[in-house]
């Protein structure tokens, strides 16, 4: 199956997929078939990988694993850093009809045993440096057939040797559009992680509503996303988005520290930058403390998701660089960002408006639709929703109902359709019977000149009633004392309704975060339990 008759610009706003469809065809085959094989797909260190080269690497990976016994519809765990190897393995597995399952490289041995056994993975492709976490649990994974190692093999199959002898020619396996395409595991902050199952059709309907309507993506665009490819945010914006449009992406194995981000932005001069609020704040603090003048004139747009973007942070970035940060809401289950601000139409504190192809409702605890201005739970409906949580029928039935997904996000919508995020249902606080968004309290704290970062969680007072507690990281040059704590509390009281101010403020050296800089409030909740 080829797509020589479908061109990338202008793209069709609506299209019907054939029953026989493999998403890899849109991401890779289409560009090679249409003469774009010499375009750069990946920048990684000093490497520049063209679409033609990526196609050959993909074919070799697919052929190599097929020769080792991989069969269509089997799952393959990817425990890989962001690199051309990740791309070629992910696409090669998909092209032969199997299902890639990227896993966080920071997973423990116990985590890996769960992921392998829960997914019934047949193969694991792993970095040599991570093999020491995998080997201790191999005897506990009876259905695992092969371990393929990138680097020194230590007795396992060598990825390099596998592709060296594999053919660079490979036909696309005739999957159906409703066959499984890829999985992602959720973070599992409550209970065991859930395998989110996506079909080949899902992302075909998800990429363009954002790419076309928000940033007007073109083949000349170069993406830099700080989120790793094993996260939905990273996989979508770092692989699906650039490959769908025939653009390019910058990959690095370095941690997304401010100094590393600065080097990448200077060296490659991307046109689109994807980050998260915490990382934007860290980058601004770093540039200010080091007195670095960073030229971002190459950037057309900056994007944010993962957590709500505080207004003070948005204003700091805009004032320094003159570039709007386009905030949005997405999820692994929906497949992409589906509510977003548009260039020139940003509303501070808002996540924007729903994208074409998505229906959004605000509902109460009983599932009844609420009116504009009322706060409730966000429900979404689209062609992009995951088919299920693997092996968790009860959770699937509770989350996916009659073509809608109950997201667990709390929002309100104003009269013009702009969405305002109020936190997760399990993050929101009910103080005196009234919902309090931790994000609202955090925004107020961030307006104080001494506050670098903060996070607000619920804590019980002496009567067992829930009140807000703030964990605060201070900027250099500020010291804590009782008078300063009282000042912070009063500062919030002046800006918000009195019941919203933090009853406790704890000064900490750092706020716990994921590898992409997203605040881990559940870790802080454990400290107050």
Residue 189 resides in a domain: no
Q: Do 402 and 470 fall into the same domain?
A: no
Q: Helix H segments across 291-367?
A: 311-321
Residue 184 resides in a domain: no
Task: Single out the residue in 384, 399, 424 at which a domain terminates.
Answer: 424
Q: How far is CA 176 from the centre of its chain?
A: 26
Question: Residue 229: which CATH number?
Answer: 3.40.50.12780
In the three-class reduction of DSSP (H, G, I as helix; E, B as strand; rest coil), residue 433 is classed as coil
* 443 phi, psi to nearest 5 deg: -60, -40
Partners of 275 in the β-ladder: 304
Task: Single out the residue in 366, 390, 424 at which a domain terminates.
Answer: 424
Question: Residue 444: which CATH number?
Answer: 3.30.300.30
pLDDT for 381: 97
pLDDT for 11: 42
pLDDT for 479: 85
Give the integer Cα–Cα distance in Å for 85 and 382.
Answer: 32
Residue 457 resides in a domain: yes
Q: Do 419 and 434 fall into the same domain?
A: no
pLDDT for 7: 45
Q: Do 169 and 216 fall into the same domain?
A: no
Q: Compute the CA torsion angle 5, 7, 11, 17 (nearest 10 deg).
A: 40
Q: Do 320 and 361 fall into the same domain?
A: yes
pLDDT for 516: 67
Give the CA count within 13 Å in the CB-facing half-sphere of 178. 3
| DSSP 8-state code for residue 176 | B
* 242 phi, psi to nearest 5 deg: -65, -40
User: Count of domains in the chain?
Assistant: 3
Question: Which of 246, 385, 181, 227 lies closest to 238 in space, CA to CA?
Answer: 227
pLDDT for 258: 96
Give the integer Cα–Cα distance in Å for 338 and 404.
Answer: 14
Q: Do 437 and 416 fall into the same domain?
A: no
Task: Single out the residue in 367, 399, 424 at which a domain terminates.
Answer: 424
Q: Do 213 and 359 fall into the same domain?
A: yes
Residue 6 resides in a domain: no
Q: Do 293 and 350 fall into the same domain?
A: yes
Question: Residue 81: which CATH number?
Answer: 3.40.50.980
Q: What is the DSSP string of 471-512?
A: EEEEPTT----HHHHHHHHHHHHTTS-GGGS-SEEEE-S---
Q: In Å, what is the CA distance from 497 to each residue of 164, 431, 493, 517?
A: 65, 11, 7, 29
Question: Which of 369, 375, 354 lies closest to 422 in space, CA to CA?
Answer: 375
Pairing status of strand 388-389 against strand 195-199: antiparallel
Residue 15 resides in a domain: no
Q: Do 330 and 462 fall into the same domain?
A: no
Positions of the chain with pLDDT lower than 70, given as ranges: 1-15, 187-191, 433, 515-516
Q: Do 209 and 160 fall into the same domain?
A: no
Residue 180 resides in a domain: no
> Which residue segment(s) compose the domain that 70 sits in?
25-175
Q: Do 475 and 494 fall into the same domain?
A: yes
Give the integer Cα–Cα distance in Å for 351 and 340.
Answer: 6
Pairing status of strand 376-381 against strand 359-363: antiparallel
Q: Give per-residue burial for 102-117: e unless 16+ CB within 10 Å, then b.
A: bbbbebeeebbbbbbe
Q: Do 501 and 402 fall into the same domain?
A: no
pLDDT for 431: 82
Q: Do 258 and 368 fall into the same domain?
A: yes
Residue 183 resides in a domain: no
Question: Which of 42, 72, 74, 46 lies closest to 57 in space, CA to CA?
Answer: 42
Residue 434 resides in a domain: yes
């Amino acid at each position: 199956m080829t797509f020589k008759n479908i061109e990338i610009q202008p793209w069709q706003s609506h299209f019907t997929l054939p029953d026989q469809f493999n998403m890899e065809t849109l991401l890779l085959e289409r560009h090679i078939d249409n003469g774009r094989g010499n375009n750069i797909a990946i920048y990684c260190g000093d490497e520049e990988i063209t679409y033609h080269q990526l196609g050959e690497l993909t074919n070799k990976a697919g052929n190599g694993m097929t020769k080792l016994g991989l069969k269509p519809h089997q799952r393959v765990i990817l425990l890989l850093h962001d690199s051309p190897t990740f791309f070629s393995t992910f696409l090669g597995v998909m092209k032969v009809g199997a299902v890639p399952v990227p896993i966080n490289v920071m997973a423990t041995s116990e985590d890996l045993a769960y992921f392998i056994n829960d997914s019934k993975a047949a193969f694991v492709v792993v970095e040599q440096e991570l093999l020491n976490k995998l080997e201790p649990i191999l005897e506990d994974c009876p259905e695992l057939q092969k371990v393929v190692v990138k680097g020194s093999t230590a007795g396992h199959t060598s990825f390099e040797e596998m592709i060296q002898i594999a053919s660079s020619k490979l036909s696309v396996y005739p999957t159906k559009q409703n066959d499984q395409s890829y999985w992602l595991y959720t973070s599992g902050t409550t209970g065991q992680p859930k395998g989110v199952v996506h079909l080949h059709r899902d992302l075909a309907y998800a990429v363009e509503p954002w790419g076309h309507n928000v940033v007007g993506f073109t083949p000349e665009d170069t993406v830099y996303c700080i989120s790793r490819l094993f996260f939905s945010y990273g996989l979508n914006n770092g692989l699906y988005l650039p490959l769908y449009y025939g653009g390019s992406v910058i990959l690095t194995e370095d941690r997304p520290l401010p100094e590393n981000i600065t080097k990448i932005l200077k060296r490659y001069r991307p046109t689109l930058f994807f980050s998260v609020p915490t990382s934007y704040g860290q980058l601004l603090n770093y540039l200010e403390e080091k007195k670095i003048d960073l030229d971002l004139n190459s950037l057309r747009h900056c994007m944010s998701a993962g957590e709500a973007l505080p207004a003070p942070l948005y204003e700091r970035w805009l004032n320094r660089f003159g570039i709007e940060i386009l905030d949005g809401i997405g999820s692994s289950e929906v497949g992409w960002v589906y509510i977003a601000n548009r260039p020139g139409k940003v509303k501070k504190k808002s996540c924007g408006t729903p994208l074409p192809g998505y229906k959004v409702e605000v509902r109460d605890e009983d599932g009844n639709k609420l009116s504009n201005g009322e706060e409730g739970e966000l429900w979404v409906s689209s062609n992009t929703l995951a088919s299920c949580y693997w092996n968790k029928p009860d959770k699937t039935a509770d989350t996916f109902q009659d073509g809608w997904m109950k997201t667990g996000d709390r929002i309100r919508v104003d009269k013009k359709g702009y969405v305002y995020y109020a936190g997760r249902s399990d993050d929101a606080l009910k103080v005196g019977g009234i919902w309090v968004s931790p994000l609202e309290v955090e925004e107020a704290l961030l307006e104080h000149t001494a506050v670098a970062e903060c996070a607000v969680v619920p804590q019980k007072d002496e009567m067992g009633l829930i009140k807000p507690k703030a964990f605060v990281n201070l900027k250099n040059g500020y010291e804590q004392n009782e008078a300063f704590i009282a000042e912070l509390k009063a500062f919030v009281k002046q800006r918000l309704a009195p019941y919203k101010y933090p009853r406790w403020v704890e000064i900490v050296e750092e706020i716990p975060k994921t590898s992409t800089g997203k605040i881990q409030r559940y870790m802080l909740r454990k400290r107050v339990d």
